[in-house]
Amino acid sequence: MWSQWNLLVVEDEVDSADVMARVLRFHHIRHTVTNSAEEALAFVERERPTGLIIDLALPGMDGWALLEHLRANPDTAHIPAVASTAFHSISVANEAMQAGFNAYLPKPIEALHLVEELEKVFTPMA
């Protein structure tokens, strides 16, 4: 199942990106890490990942704007996206889901929770 995934992690914080990458590698989930929304947009245009994990507080274009851009493009609107943030609150979680994210992960990321959320989002694709 996981071998079909090709995820893009959009995370500017090195430690958070490293934790996510380690968990994904451990579970043999193909992934790429970019450090900005702008890099992510270029990657999505080239590679069409099966899903994204997007930090909401990116420098420059933030994760909210990245999702809005992806959802506005018919070629990328269908790609599942998981929000991730260190600025966790119930209201931020609700806003993320209302904005069109498919799941929400507060930081610090817990490995088991990350995999469980990814399974919920991507299992229907398998």
pLDDT by 10-residue block (mean), the chain, 126 residues: 84 94 92 97 95 96 98 96 94 96 92 87 65
Place of tokens 């070629």: 75
Cα–Cα distance, 113 to 4 (Å, whole number)? 20
pLDDT at 83: 97
Angle at 9 between CA 121 and CA 49, to 5 degrees: 65
pLDDT at 93: 95
pTM: 0.93
Tokens at 15, concatenated: 């430690």
Cα–Cα distance, 73 to 85 (Å, whole number)? 24
Under a CB-based contact definition with an 8 Å cutoff, are residues 43 and 49 in contact?
A: yes
Residue ranges of the alpha helices (H) in the chain?
14-26, 37-47, 63-72, 90-99, 111-122
Catalogue all structural domains in the chain, each as residue range(s) with its CATH number.
2-125 (3.40.50.2300)
Nearest to 23 by CA among 87, 106, 86, 113: 113
pLDDT at 56: 98
